[in-house]
Amino acid sequence: MEYWLLIFLLIFLFVIYMQISALSNSVKYIREEIGRLRNELAPRLPEPTVATVEEENTPTHLADEVAVSKVWTPDYATYQNYLLTKKQSQIKEKALADSVKKEPAPPIEYRIADRLVVLKPQDEAPQESPKMDAGPASGHPQKPDVWTKLENVLFSLKSPESFWKRLEQEFAARWMVWIGGVIMALGVIFLLKAGSEQGLFGPTLRIGTAIVLSVLMVVGGEWLRRSRFQLPLVNAGYIPAALSGAGILGLFASMLAAKYLYDMFPMPVLMLLLSLISLLAMVLALWQGPFMAALGLLGAYTVPLFVSTGSGNVTGLLAYLFLVSLASIGLMSRVYRHWLWLGAMVGNYLWLLVSLFIATSEHQLARSLFLLATTYGFLAWPHLGWALKSKIRFRHNDWKNWPPALLDPLLTGLIAGLSLLALTLSANHSILVWSTLVFSCISLLLIARRSPSLDLFVPLAAILAISPFINAGTLFEPETVWTSLLALSTLALFCGIYGSYQVTRPVYRKLWWALLSVLVPMYLVVSTYYACRDNFELAPVKYTLLAVCLAMYIAWNAFSDGYRRGSALLRTIYQVAAQLTLTFALFMAFSQVTLTLLLAGQLLVLVLWQRWRQVSLLSWILKLHAIILLVRLSMNPYILGYSSPLHIGSVVIPWTLYGFGIPILCLWLSSRWLPARRGEQTANWLAANAIYLLALWINVELRHLLHGSYHLSLDFASLTDCALHGVTFGLMALAYGYREQFADSLQRIYRLAAKTSAILMLTLTLLCLVVFNPIWSAQQVGGLPLLNMVTVAYAIPMVFMVVALRYWPDHWLDIRLKPYVIGAIALLGMVFITLTVRQLWHGDRLDNDIVYSGEQYSYSLAWMLTAIGMMYSAIHWPNYKVRRASLGLLALTIVKLFLWDMSGLEGLYRSVSFLGLGLCLVAIGWFYQKFVVMKEVIEQNKDQPTADVVQSGQ
């Protein structure tokens, strides 16, 4: 039975070929006759008005559908004579009543020739006329003449008729015809149903009667189309199509009933009969219009739904569907409608997707060949041609204005790409699927090169190239590993080389080709490494991919160097790709501190290369590299344990010394050696990063000093933890604030980071004041004067706050909050002075209740010296707020002396104390009068003569 099916398919293909050839000869003869008539009548005809591009893009409605359906009829000459006589009489009647223009009408033969030209498919891309009128092309189309107006009134569907009249005509002339055809088809179906239910006649007679009625309807429709009863109206062609369509549906129903109700013949015979009925509908469509074409396509694509042998013969199914798709493409070359083309494409690819669920591991060759062949057919017809070259050179950015000649190939490519993706994911990456994928990607890129308007095929090819990694688990199985590696290498090489070659040519979108040449190879290399490292021995994979990465780095660096005097965007793309490839190669080959040092060295080499080659790279390339380095150094101490120091002879160097020191040095040298450009703050930005790393280094060392580990500790159970982390956050706040002044688009981020770090520092400092204050909590502050935790916890945050208020911009802090910050600075200063004095008397622990007599005087002396120092600084650098604060501190010291310090003194000690205190106060008063009061009096005296002169003048 399979041989009979093969013979039938060959006969089917031969019949289609003969029909198309005959129709092609008929159309060729008609066109030759039209050309001959036009040449004979050209000297007597006026110069025709050439249509503008806008008019060509407007779908025309001037074609008489009766004339369209009669192009291929044998009796076309008779009908043409009738139509000429009818139109001539109507035009003469309108011309007599119209006084707009008194020129004689052009010969009717020329109008008919023009109308035949309109018979081209309306969905094809408009072509520019060789004779373009300057007037219409400039946006001012010429007014139509009286004959065009008459034709629009007589023959256009847009004639000025009332809505109800138009509705009446549509219902009577079109809808009733189709409803009648459907009712006749249902009549045949009900005849079969009634005969089966009521037992009328025998099964053979029932099926035979239905077949005879259906054949009579088909023959009657075709006879009506050819006979003299065919009316010269627009909707007259619907009647034969409706009658023949009812007959086709009746034949379908008869064959299905014969098989499923009475089992008169086996499945292969049913498939043959249904295919012949579909072929009959397609042949009738050549004369009776698109409805019969739709009926034939629908029947042909639904035959496999009714014919199922359960054998899972996907190859036979796809062979049948290929012939159906081929027939539909050939049919639409004569009877083209856009919705017909879409329906054929949907049926074709839906069956391909269905075949993926039938015998999944088999018939891969049939699926691949079917996908490639049918995709080529739908791309070629009706827009690209068999050479697959678009007639539209460029496309508009607004996709809503794209013509069908551009949308249809893109839609075909998208659907075919999705089908190929499904085929790739379902076939376990066999050699046939890989071959299909590689061939499809290469073909899409070649089509995009030939047709710039189809450059959307470039990202589609890139997506298809990387699509196998969606199912990466089965990509490198032992039996398919070499096939996968060979296919991926081919894709990477072709995308990289061909994309780079296209960039050197005058193509429409160089950016897409450049991204294709770098992103696809990079993605394939990175994904291959991570997919293979768990399945194979890592060393061969690593060394192979390292060689590939170095080759890509050299090539892309050369491309970037080649564009150093040209496009900055292309130079940036290739330079970023080169640096990312080198970074990934370093990640593959090295780890831990060695990788960090190499990344820092790569940044310095990039700066030196830029200085040596005298090229200007975008600043964010350097910033991106520095960010990678900063993120690694910021996160690695928290998640990795770097515990192996460096041994040089008998010297042991901890990893933090060179792990942080060398990157800080590289960042600082990069900021010094970076070529200076006007308005560029990248060098300062790198220097600010070096400051940030320095602060982070100090924090890491302090953490190691406290806990013996470089891992993050959030225990904060002591004054030491809070003080050291508070200092670290303070340094980070200053570093982020400094970087914020030189950042462009990241100013808000740095400002937020600076404020967050400052808030964390203040929070930890508050914990040091309230919770972990060494006065009432058991905290060890250290035994050395000044070099202890008191200085770290209170003095250093105070200095940070002073620096922030003095040097940082005003927008950092609301002006209403500045007095509170100044108060916090004064509080921290007093706490630091007091606790420093107590540490001098008590050593490491300050939480005992003992207060020595000399300790009290030490407090008073320290406070008084602080007040004197503040007053001197306020007088030398005029600041009345500091001066008043110093007087307040001095008053507090005097009160303390009288109430506490001197209350326990007696005899000579009390007398000497009072004398010394009085002498100090007198000296301070004299100092204040001389440098404050006298200065104000002198300034008033200088202003007084001026005031007197002004008053005397008045």
- Residue 12 burial class via C-beta count within 10 angstroms: exposed 0-12, middle 13-18, buried 19 and up: buried
What is the 8-class DSSP label of residue 48?
Answer: P
Q: Say how far apart CA 339 and CA 345 lie, in whole Å.
A: 10
**At which residue do the structure tokens 């014969």 appear?**
258
Local structure of residue 380 (DSSP, 8 states): I
- H or E element, residue 469: none
CA distance 409 to 380: 8
pLDDT at 143: 44
- Only one residue has tokens 């970037």, namely 560
User: Measured between alpha carbons, how far is residue 55 from residues 59, 137, 140, 155, 395 in Å?
Assistant: 8, 10, 11, 18, 19
Q: Is 153 helix (H, G, I), strand (E, B) or coil?
A: helix
Question: Alpha-carbon distance 365 to 877, whole Å?
Answer: 91
Count the Cβ atoms, other than its own, within 10 Å of residue 584: 19
Contact between 521 and 490 (Cβ < 8 Å): no
From the CB of residue 765, how many other CB atoms can be counted at a distance below 10 Å? 25
- Give the whole-angstrom CA distance, residue 352 versus residue 314: 10
3-state secondary structure of 566: coil
User: Secondary structure of 920-933 in the HEC alphabet?
Assistant: HHHHHHHHHHHHHH
Q: What is the pLDDT of residue 753?
A: 79
Q: Which residues contact 101 (CB under 8 A, 6 or more apart)?
A: 145, 146
pLDDT for the residue 494: 92
What is the predicted pLDDT for the residue at 102? 45
DSSP string, 888-943: HHHHHHHHHIIIIIGGG--THHHHHHHHHHHHHHHHHHHHHIIIIIHHHHHHHHHH
* Cis preceding linkage at 478, omega within 30: no
Which element (helix H / strand E) includes 651? strand 651-653
> Structure tokens of 494?
């072709």
Query: What is the distance between the alpha carbons of residues 835 and 824, in angstroms, rounded to a whole number?
Result: 16
Q: Please, what's the b/e burial string for 617-638 (b: 16 or more CB within 10 A of its CB; e: otherwise)? A: bebebbbebbebbbeebeebbe
| CB 381, CB 123: distance < 8 Å | no
The candidate with the shortest Cα–Cα distance to 737, out of 688, 783, 775, is 688
523: helix, strand or coil:
helix
Angle between helices 592-613 and 568-589 (to 10 degrees): 150
Determine the Cα–Cα distance for residues 666 and 344; give it in Å rounded to an integer. Answer: 65
Half-sphere exposure of 888 (CA within 13 A, CB side): 8
Torsion angle, CA of 553/557/559/562, rounded to 10 degrees? -160
Dist CA 255 CA 9 (whole Å):
19
Q: Measuring CA to CA, which residue among 287, 314, 303 is closest to residue 427? A: 314
Alpha-carbon 164 to chain mean position: 50
Distances from the Cα of 611 to the Cα of 100, 670, 675, 756, angstroms? 79, 11, 6, 37
pLDDT digits (tens, 9 = 90+) for 907-935: 555 555 666 667 676 766 766 666 666 66
The single-letter code of the amino acid at 262 is: Y
Cα separation, 159 vs 153, whole angstroms: 5
Backbone φ, ψ for residue 772 (5° rounding): -105, 30
pLDDT above 90 covers what percent of the chain? 2
Length of the chain: 954
DSSP secondary structure letter of residue 452: G
Angle at the Cα of 331 from the Cα atoms of 328 and 334, rounded to 5 degrees: 150
Distances (CA, A) of 593 to 633, 649, 656, 659: 9, 20, 9, 6
481: which 2 tokens? 């590993």
Q: Tell me if 498 sits within 8 A of 504, measured CB to CB.
A: no
pLDDT attached to residue 544: 83
Query: For residue 185, what is the enclosing H or E element?
Result: helix 176-198
Which residue type is seen at 929? Q
Side chain identity at residue 806, one-letter code: R
Please write the tens of the pLDDT for every residue from 759-790.
Answer: 888 998 998 888 888 888 878 788 888 888 88
**Per-residue tokens: 812:** 């950092």
Q: Which residues have C-beta within 8 Å of that of residue 392, sequence separation ≥ 6?
A: 125, 403, 405, 406, 451, 453
Half-sphere exposure (Cβ direction) of 868: Cα atoms closer than 13 Å: 15
**Tokens at 938, concatenated:** 């002198």
pLDDT, tens digit, 9 for 90 and up, residues 32-84: 767 777 776 666 655 544 444 444 444 444 444 444 344 334 444 444 455 55
Q: Which is nearest to 207 in space by CA: 181, 185, 188? A: 188
Cα separation of 163 and 156, whole Å? 15
* Ramachandran quadrant class, 365 (left: phi over 0; alpha: psi -120 to 50; beta: rest): alpha
Dihedral sign for Cα 943, 944, 945, 950, please: positive
Q: What is the pLDDT of residue 946?
A: 53
Q: Is the CB of residue 20 less than 8 Å from the CB of residue 332?
A: no
User: Is residue 652 classed as helix, strand or coil in its secondary structure?
Assistant: strand
Burial class of residue 495 (count of CB atoms within 10 Å of its CB; 0-12, 13-18, 19+): buried
Report whether the peptide linkage leading into residue 382 is cis, meaning its omega lies within 30 degrees of zero. yes
- The set of residues, in sequence order, having a beta carbon less than 8 Å from that of 809 and lying 6+ positions away, is 741
Q: What's the rounded Cα separation, in Å, for the pair 641 and 709?
A: 9
Q: Please list the ranges in the chain whose pLDDT falls under 50.
A: 1-10, 12, 15, 48-80, 99-161, 163-176, 228-229, 231-237, 947, 949-950
Report pLDDT for 131: 39
- Given the DSSP bridges, would you call strands 646-648 and 651-653 parallel, antiparallel or unpaired? antiparallel
Q: What is the pLDDT of residue 142?
A: 47
Rounded Cα gap, residues 406 and 56, in angstroms:
16
Rg (CA), the chain: 46
Query: What are 9's two structure tokens?
Result: 């398919």
Q: How much is the pLDDT for 788?
A: 84
Q: In angstroms, rounded to a whole number, what is the distance separating the alpha carbons of residues 264 and 656?
A: 90
Quickly tell me which residue has 């493409």 as its tokens: 329
d(CA 406, CA 399): 10
CA distance 247 to 365: 39
Is residue 797 classed exposed, middle or buried when 0-12, 13-18 and 19+ CB atoms within 10 A define those classes? buried
Q: What is the rounded CA–CA span in Å between residue 573 and residue 550?
A: 17
